[in-house]
Each structure stands twice: as C-alpha cells, then as structure tokens.
Amino acid sequence: MDHIKDLLVILISSSLVSNVVLSQFLGLCPFLGVSRKVKTAAGMGGAVIFVITLASFVAGVINRFVLIRFQVQYLDTIVFILVIAALVQFVEMFLRKAMPALYEALGVYLPLITTNCAVLGVAINNEQAEYGILTGTVNGFATAVGFTVSIVILAGIREKMEYNDIPKAFQGMPIVLLTAGLMAIAFVGFSGLL
C-alpha cells in the first residue's frame, strides 16, 4: 500500500508540481516549436509519452543489470544517450512495419524527439534519485504527461493569440515565451498539492 502511495506522489509531482518544461526547462525545443496548433501539439505529446515511458524503462533495466552490476555507473551519460537514440530509431522502424495505424499518428514526431533533452533528463533523474525500474517508468510516464498537458495548453492559447494585435518586436517567440512564463506561474500554484 505504501508503495502505491509513493507511486501516486511521484505521478502528481512529476506531471504537475515540477513540470518538466515549465519548471525544469527540459524539452523546450518541441514545446516552443510544435505548439502552433492543438492537433499537432497533442500528436507530439502522444509521441513523447510513448518514447519517454519506453526509454525510462529501458534505461532503468540497463542501469540495474549492466551499469550497477559491472560497477560502471560513471558511463551513464554515454550509454543512455546511445541507447535512447538507437531505441527511437528502432521503435520507428518497428511501428512502421508492425503497427501502421499508430505509425501514422506518431511517426512524424518520432525523429524530432530522438535527442530531446527531456528523454535523457528523465533517465538521468531516475538514476540520480535511485528509482527502481517500476518507479522510474512511472516517473517517466508522469513527466511525459506533464509535457503533454503543458504543450496542449500552450497550443490552445497560441491558437487564440493568432487574432491578437501584438507589438512588432514581440511577435513570434517573445510573446510565446511570455505566455509560457505566465503558465509557469500558474503551475507554481500546484506546489500546494503535496
């Protein structure tokens, strides 16, 4: 029971309280770049959930059975980045052959998250927090859900912003960053949850 409670706490804290984009600044590139429309943002979010959950599971397994077993934890960065890159490439090929429908939905986004710093960041966070494989995977999933929530909200705001009269110098990225800042303030409010 205690274990389940721990997992729930991780789920809430990783998805809302310490949101991966708005408080840890990981995965900013897709967050700012692919948030013009809600539909594409949701697709990106789905792909990120898929990849991060899978990558944190695989990184957890490798950490437990290779790095710790042979006491080479100092190689973590090199091993994780190569494993994640290979994994995403493999997943793309696998989906294309085996599940064309899912590939249709996520395929476009997969190459864009190969080296998304959020993927590597979650793997390293899991390792530093000494999470087990299950806990690490749940943490990865929760982090990715947090990413999806924030990118979909931002895309919704940006769709409305299309009709606004924005000062010339603030058009494009600056106004998006200001919006993200305001969202970050809102997310700070979640810290009362835990």
Binding site for another protein (CB under 8 A): 22-26, 28-30, 32-34, 36-37, 40, 74-78, 81-82, 85, 88-89, 92-93, 96-97, 107-112, 114-117, 120-121, 124-125, 128, 168-175, 177-178, 180-182, 184-185, 188
Q: Which is nearer to another protein, 8 or 170 (CB)?
A: 170
CB of 152 to another protein, least distance (A): 14
Q: Which is nearer to another protein, 33 or 132 (CB)?
A: 33
Which distant-in-sequence residues (6+ apart) come within 8 Å of 89 by Cβ?
Answer: 114
Q: Which is nearer to another protein, 11 or 32 (CB)?
A: 32
| Cα dihedral 60/109/39/156 (nearest 10) | 70
> 92-124 b/e with 16+ CB inside 10 Å = b?
beebeeeeeeebebbeebbebbbebbbbbbbbb
CB of 166 to another protein, least distance (A): 10
CB of 150 to another protein, least distance (A): 12
CB of 5 to another protein, least distance (A): 25
Q: Which is nearer to another protein, 8 or 82 (CB)?
A: 82
Q: Could you give the CA distance from residue 75 to residue 153 in angstroms, rounded to a whole number? A: 37
Contact present, 84 and 55 (Cβ < 8 Å): yes
Token pair 């949701």: residue: 42
CB of 8 to another protein, least distance (A): 23
Token pair 């966070």: residue: 125
Position 109, amino acid: Y
